[in-house]
Amino acid sequence: MSEVGTTPGAPAQGSSLRRLVPRIFSRAPRINDLDNLIRTVRQNHPRGDLAIIERAYAVAAEKHEGQKRQSGEPYITHPLAVAQILADLGLGPRAIAAALLHDTVEDTGYALTDLTATFGDEVA
């Protein structure tokens, strides 16, 4: 007997989701992830402040160092994936910086006042 709304023999919804959004699941960060992110933002915002993305990544990587996702991957893969999705949608450098930093206050000892002082209200 299959679950309501599923087709017998069809892959589970979770595996379907993993195929649709592969960069969020089961992957360690690669050296060129940040380069790819910046390249995407540059294509959509050629005059944008790309340095803020590099600074945000450096802070996020430092603050999340040693943290793992439930899958065992380094935690930084999550903010990178979120940032890449937003970059693919055409959002600008400040939104991308916010995506990279979105869990730092909640999940690390990084204070919101420090985040605001470093990146401004729009990113914080």
Catalytic residue numbers read 106-107
Structure tokens at 99: 């995506």
For residues 124 and 116, what is the distance between their CA atoms, to the nearest angstrom?
5
Give 51's strand partners: none
Instruction: Count other C-beta atoms under 10 Å from residue 55's C-beta.
Output: 17
The burial of 117, by beta-carbon neighbours within 10 Å (0-12 exposed, 13-18 middle, 19 or more buried), is given as: exposed
Structure tokens at 110: 């990084």
